[in-house]
């Protein structure tokens, strides 16, 4: 199953691995938004891709 996070900035983060999704989303948040979300926050935004 592919998980997708649609960031409010318009970028999409997508991975088949929950761990990788968290890692990619954390890096995006740090680089683009200067924020460090928790794993829980990231996974709460993730949705399975249709
Ligand atoms: Zn973003």
Distance CA 34, CA 50 (A): 30
| pLDDT of 14 | 97
Direct distance between the N- and C-terminal alpha carbons of the chain, in angstroms, rounded to an integer: 9
| pLDDT of 18 | 97
In the chain (50 residues long), the average pLDDT of successive 10-residue segments reads 96 97 98 98 95
Q: How far is the CA of 14 from the centre of ligand 1 (A)?
A: 13
Q: How far is the CA of 44 from the centre of ligand 1 (A)?
A: 15
Q: Which of 48, 10, 13 is nearest to 28 (CA)?
A: 13
pTM of the model: 0.91
Distance CA 13, CA 41 (A): 14
């Amino acid at each position: 199953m592919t998980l997708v996070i649609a960031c409010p900035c318009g970028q999409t983060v997508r991975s088949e691995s929950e761990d990788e999704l968290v890692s990619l989303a954390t890096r995006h948040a740090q680089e683009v938004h200067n924020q460090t979300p928790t794993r829980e926050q990231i996974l709460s935004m993730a949705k399975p891709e249709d």
